[in-house]
Amino acid sequence: MPQLEIDAIVFDVLGTLVDEPAGIRAGIRALDPALDEPRIEQLLSMWQQHIEGEQRRVLDGDRPYLTTEDLDREAAQLVATAAGVDDPAAVAELARSARRLPPWPDTVAGLARLADRFPLIGLSNASRTALLELNAHAGLRWHQALSAEDARTYKPDPAVYQLAVAVSGRPPERLLMVAAHAWDLRGAQALGLRTAYVARPVGDPPAPADRFDLHAGDLADLAGRLGESREPSA
């Protein structure tokens, strides 16, 4: 396959660079240490279903835009109620667990390797405040971090990907969107961005009909596929 001609890399964050379920799972354990693993998984699923469902309602126009901080507080309250915890401080601490997500083992080194050769743009559904905390906690290196909050919607709305296009000053086809979620890559692809799927245990694998430009096992593999000989961007 010919080497892609790209000027910048755009990264999804949640799930692609940080292990979102692991961070929330840790928050649920701290909420009630007596919970067993099956119950923790049930509560984690409740959290995830709430976030996904409410973001879909925003996208469908059935609910005004709320930041991920607002949605995390709602999810935390649902989980705490289901766990029989009614301490407001404990609920608030659980909500904050969504901003304390561990990076995947290859993330920090992979970003550093790629940042020597490409401008890196983070593009996340996380709010501006949450994204700041996520970046700091996980040690993520960016040249620019963008939040869907600036578009007042969520991916895969084209307005979110347009944020990266506008900031880069480059045409969409000169940007490479990297994500562990096929739905995210389809959204970027619809706007004309090039696409790279990175496999993660918590991702959304490509369907047989998907045609992404690259498939990589991790960020080291992605860097290798993009070629080590490319000169840094001017």
- The predicted-structure confidence for 117-176, as pLDDT tens digits, reads as follows 999 999 999 999 999 999 999 999 899 999 999 999 999 999 999 999 999 999 999 999
Compute the average pLDDT of residues 28-44: 97
pTM over 0.85: yes
Distances (CA, A) of 141 to 49, 70, 73, 186: 30, 26, 27, 25
CA distance 40 to 56: 24
Nearest to 9 by CA among 95, 137, 121, 141: 121
Strands of 144-147's sheet in order across: 144-147, 120-124, 8-11, 175-179, 194-198, 214-216
* Residue ranges per structural domain of the chain: 8-19+102-226, 20-99
Class of domain 8-19+102-226: alpha beta
Topology of domain 20-99 in CATH is DNA polymerase; domain 1 (1.10.150)
CA distance 11 to 178: 5
Q: Share the mean pLDDT of the chain.
A: 95
